[in-house]
Amino acid sequence: MTSSRPLLHTFLDAMSDLLGDRFSTAHAVREHHGRDESLYDPVLPDAVAYAHSVDEISAILGLCHAHRVPVIPYGSGSSLEGHLLAVHGGISLDVSAMVQVVSFQPEDMSITVQPGITRKALNDYLRASGLFFPIDPGADASIGGMCATRASGTNAVRYGTMRENVLGLTAVLIDGQVLHTGSRAKKSSAGYDLTRLLIGSEGTLGVISEVTLKLHPQPEAISAAVCSFGSVQSAVQTVIETIQMGIPVARAELVDALAIQALNRHFKLALHESPTLFLEFHGNAASVAEQAETVQGLADGNGGTGFQWATQQEERNRLWSARHNALFAFLQLKPGCRALSTDVCVPLSKLAECVVGAEADLRQSYLPAPIFGHVGDGNFHVCLLLDPDNPEELVEAERLNHAIVQRALQAGGTCTGEHGVGLHKIDFLVQEHGQVAIDTMRAIKQALDPHGLMNPGKIFRRLDSSQTFGNA
């Protein structure tokens, strides 16, 4: 996959006039923007434009529209499904310098920010306010990117995903028009829900340039726990019973035995190397104690052992830091490997069946592949570790990925709970939603981006292209 055509001199001159040295065709800059955290080989954009304001984004897109130049929005570069690759050429539009808080309304528990601010920086800003933003994907992703991929994370079981925590946003369309959606009100029945249309659109409809977020009170008390089980099924069953009883657990993370082994080695932990739940409870002191006691009883009933509490912030931070940075530990299981990370989400009633089925598939394979994930909301991940120079291992990884996704779809689930479609899950999307739904999505895309310039090749497969790992 390469650029469809060289950029026109008139376009290059116009962009240089607009941005000066914030418009670059340098190889090193393009290379940095031509990769993400997926298994795909780098695909470099033809140039990189750094925007500092909504007006600049509008001017950049206006020029791209006039000269028919594709645009790939870029935040922190942490996506997992090839979202950032310039598979049809064009420019990478970097908004990482747009990190300002536009307005903060603590009395309304909302805040409006620019798209480049990361989730950690946002919560640092909020620390003294008594409020926080709970969505926490593993990477320190940008808020704009989290909107674009409809991100969630370990807190989703209690606080929801980006879909539930974005009140409104500003986006710039390909012709430079600025679109405002939603409001600071908690709900609305006014017209089409354009906010939700853009959440999860993966940069294919416009460039998100401001976001108004719903905030939550920082919990009075927090307690975390770790509990080991004799099997993945027992661990998952404990989570299912917890959710079905209505216990408002804040985090419920499954980490299988292989994943625990990797975390112990990399982070110098001493966890029992068996399927394990990482749990966290939020509320006041009495409610947290009650929740934890009830869940411990459920765990005991499912053969859980070694319930260990982490009530001090330092202990909790160490535990969740290891979970959030698990990928780095997993990569050490097979030195020199790369990871094909896949995720699915299924109805709670089918969760044990799907996780146990995935575990059985992986045990029959020679590839090391830890299972982990946010099982509290039915979402789990598999990290398939392979030698990128061994075609047979790539085929095996894709076979396993296909089996995991097919089982999830047959269970009434989805091919991706939070990573997004990107390049890798295009065909699964068709199977999941059906052709009528895909045609409807295409019609929306055509209406907002008639020349197909916004992040082309993502979500929908172009009829004239073939995208596979290795030839990207």
Tell me if 34 is assigned to some domain: no
pLDDT mean over 418-431: 94
Q: What is the pLDDT of residue 14?
A: 97
Q: Which helix (H) or strand (E) holds 210?
A: strand 207-214
> Contact, 61 vs 177, CB < 8 A?
no
pLDDT for the residue 3: 47
CB 261 within 8 A of CB 273: yes
Q: Decide if 75 is inside a domain.
A: no
**Confidence (pLDDT) at 312:** 78
Mean pLDDT estimate for the chain: 93
CATH number of the domain where residue 399 is located: 3.30.70.2740
C-alpha to C-alpha distances, 299 to 253, 283, 334, 358, 412, nearest whole angstrom:
14, 21, 32, 22, 27
Tell how strand 216-217 and strand 131-132 pair up: antiparallel
Q: What pLDDT sits at residue 469?
A: 37
Question: Does the residue 87 lie in any domain?
Answer: no
Beta bridge pairs of residue 48: 24, 92
Residue 343 has pLDDT above 50, yes or no: yes
Q: How far, in Å, CA of 70 to CA of 64, rounded?
A: 7
Please tell me the distance from the alpha carbon of residue 69 to that of residue 5, in angstroms, as a whole number.
9
Query: 351 and 307 in one domain?
Result: no
pLDDT the model gives residue 260: 96
Between 27-31, 145-149, 184-188, the lowest mean confidence (pLDDT) is in 184-188
Domain housing 234: 221-327
CA dihedral 69, 75, 80, 81 (to 10 degrees): -20
CB–CB of 223/288 below 8 Å? yes
For residue 462, the model assigns a pLDDT of 64
The reported pLDDT for the residue numbered 8 is 81
Tell me what percent of the residues of the chain surpass a pLDDT of 90. Answer: 88
Mark whether 231 and 291 lie in a shared domain. Answer: yes
Q: How confident is the model at residue 5 (pLDDT cuts 50, 70, 90)?
A: low
| Residue 157 CB partners (closer than 8 Å, separation 6+) | 243, 249, 250, 251, 252, 374, 376, 377
| 85 found inside a domain | no
d(CA 128, CA 393): 49
Residue 318's pLDDT band (cuts 50, 70, 90):
confident
Percent of the chain with pLDDT over 70: 96
Q: Which of 217, 242, 262 is the last residue of a domain?
A: 217
Residues 353 and 393 in one domain: yes
What's 256's domain CATH number? 3.30.70.2190
Average pLDDT of 281-293?
93
Alpha carbon of residue 441 to chain centroid: 21
Least-confidence region, from 65-69, 73-77, 183-187, 252-256? 183-187
- Cβ(358)–Cβ(259) below 8 Å: no
* Average pLDDT value for residue range 455-469: 66
Mark which of 327, 359, 377 sits at the end of a domain. Answer: 327
CB 195 within 8 A of CB 182: yes
What is the distance between the alpha carbons of residues 177 and 179, in angstroms, rounded to a whole number? 6
In a domain, 3, yes or no: no
Evaluate if residue 463 carries a pLDDT over 60.
no
What is the pLDDT at residue 470?
Answer: 35
Q: Which residues contact 430 (CB under 8 A, 6 or more apart)?
A: 438
Threshold 0.85, pTM exceeds: yes
Q: Which of 383, 406, 421 is the last residue of a domain?
A: 421
Residues 112 and 175 in one domain: yes
Q: Say whether both 397 and 292 belong to one domain.
A: no
CA proximity to 330, closest of 137, 85, 138, 81: 138
Name the percent of the chain in helix, strand, coil, to the closest 5.
40, 20, 40
Q: Which residues pair with 341 in a beta bridge?
A: 383
pLDDT of residue 316: 85
Structure token pair of residue 72: 């790939």
